[in-house]
Amino acid sequence: MIEDPERCYAAVTGRDPRFDGWFTTGVRSTGIYCRPSCPAITPKRANVEFFATPAAAHAAGFRACKRCRPDAAPGSPDWDVRADTVGRAMRLIADGTVDREGVAGLARRLGYSPRQLQRLLVAEVGAGPQALARAQRAQAARVLIETTDLPFGDVAYAAGFGSVRQFNDTVRAVFDRTPGGLRATAARHRDRASAPGTISLRLAHREPLAADDLIAFLAARAVAGVESITPAVDGHPPTYRRTLDLPHGPGTVALTPGERAIHGTLRLTDHRDLTAAVARCRRLLDLDADPTAVDAHLGADPLLAPLVAARPGLRVPGAVDGFEIAMRAVVGQQVSVAGAVTVIGRIAARYGEPMPEADGDLHRRFPTPDAVAALDPATLPMPRRRAAALVGLARAVADGAIVLDAGTDRDHTRAALLALDGIGPWTVEDIALRALGDPDAFPATDLGVRTALAARGLDTPADVERHARRWRPWRAYATIHVWSSLP
């Protein structure tokens, strides 16, 4: 987009919300930057320049528009799709890696020096890792300021700032308001105050969103004590709730579909985990996807066209923890979804750490790699070979030999998984689809995929593989459409 400024300006002129998050518009005459869909008067072409990220706009001296709040737009779909170093870096920064490990830690994760990584990011997105993390801290601070009663010193610490002065200066520079001014404005416009100890979120996404199908997918796989579903009642949408295992402690989240956003309520043991919790909830619900592009591509195939038309905006359910999805994939080998949920529920009930404080029916965390790695396969409620594969996987993750997070090298991780005993191509693609967020992952030998496609005339694995090539680079979304078509 940024390489074609006239296309960017056309999106701004049309106030097209589909481009929110793809780029931001800096207006030289006012010193602010906006979303493409900002309802303000369209600036003259000569007065605008375009940036790939809010951080790049900050670095150029612009502040966020108070009307369209560009800092709260959906993220760019590029960072979900791209498997290169920049895409991996952007996903890790969104997860709070710079705040926890510094720029040097981020660079180590990616196999680069800090200086090389700085050059790469500035060239690609207009800002280095520190500037990108600073913009993210500002957004985290705004959420805490507006939805909690935390003292501003605690907000600064929780958002990742090194000092209260740095926090104050950043908030003023980015939002052109003091922290007290932001809180006062939010109090006047807030429909209701957050419950004590909670943080209210508005997770923006691009339309359309097949929210009912997304919640139904998660509901069918919900593990008692770890997840729960509040069904839709009297016109109120369903709510998905779950526990979270975050870098500084456990938490819980409740996610409810709303208009152009998912409404979330977080309970955190440590507010420093806000950034990671938000990023993981966004990945879980695939909120940074570009459904218009995906639907247009898949809908051009006559085989998928009726499925896409029936469920526009279908997302690929992701993960809040990569090992959880990998464990589900191994346990689910050659058994039904319901059967896998039963087995995983037993393992979670026995080996998952209890929450320090239950949140309703959420009282247990999903078992960690360390906990599963220490088990005797003979004690697990599944066939011995599959149990051995699960323990072997857990040991590889616990040892760091395999990394299952947003910033991992997808090809390298696929190869490492295939090298483990009891892990085959179907399991690897299932893990890549949800845990690694690969939009082109395709479990071609999955029984559900084969059954649904056989009913549509693709009888052999060769037929399936050949036809699926036309779905690239969105085969993961095609897989979800195919699964959703099953009775």
Q: Which residues are catalytic?
A: 34, 446
Pairing of strands 63-64, 32-34: parallel
Q: Please calculate the CA angle 403-426-376 and round it to the nearest 5 degrees.
A: 60
Which pairs from 296-303 meet CB under 8 Å and 24+ separation?
297/471, 297/474, 298/471, 298/474, 298/477, 298/478, 298/481, 301/470, 301/471, 303/453, 303/456, 303/457, 303/458, 303/467
Point out which residues pair with 268 in neighbouring strands: 251
- The CA-based angle 156-129-169, given to 5 degrees, is 35
Phi and psi dihedrals of 126, rounded to 5? 85, 5
Pure H helices in 148-229: 152-159, 164-175, 179-189, 211-220
Assign 23 to helix, strand or coil. strand
Q: Residue 263: which of 311, 214, 199 has the closest Cα?
A: 199
Q: Give Cα separations from 277 to 13, 54, 202, 271, 284 (angstroms).
A: 35, 20, 13, 10, 10
E strand map for 411-456: none
| Residue 302, preceding peptide bond in cis (omega within 30° of 0) | no
Please give the span between the terminal C-alpha atoms of the chain, in angstroms, as a whole number.
41
Q: H or E element: which one contains 129?
A: helix 129-147
CA 127/CA 170 separation, integer angstroms: 16
Structure token digits, residue 449:
């995929």
